[in-house]
Amino acid sequence: MLSQGELPYPRGTLVMDTISERSGLLVGVIEERYKSNGKLHKSQAFMVPEVGGIEWDVPLDRIKPVE
């Protein structure tokens, strides 16, 4: 089951994927849960480039705010 997750930082925060080092604005979080027991399977952060463009997603645990 998919559902909207809680944002770890305010919407629009500039964040970076710690693996690819790609940065963008945080726009949302999607959680995937097991239908059988409701336990969290994975969370994906959705980001857009600062200058506009195509949205992409990365695992939520791979993002951190850009300082």
Q: 22 with 16: CB under 8 angstroms?
A: yes
Total of domains in the chain: 1
Please give the model's pTM, rounded to 2 decimal places: 0.88
DSSP 37: T
Q: Which among 2, 53, 48 is positioned nearest to 26, based on CA atoms?
A: 48
Helix (H/G/I), strand (E/B), else coil: 60: helix
pLDDT of 67 above 90: no
CATH at 61: 2.30.30
Residue pointed to by tokens 């604005």: 25
Q: What is the pLDDT of residues 8-57, one digit of tens each?
A: 999 999 999 999 999 999 999 999 999 999 899 999 999 999 998 999 99
pLDDT confidence of residue 25: 98
Domain that holds residue 19: 2-65
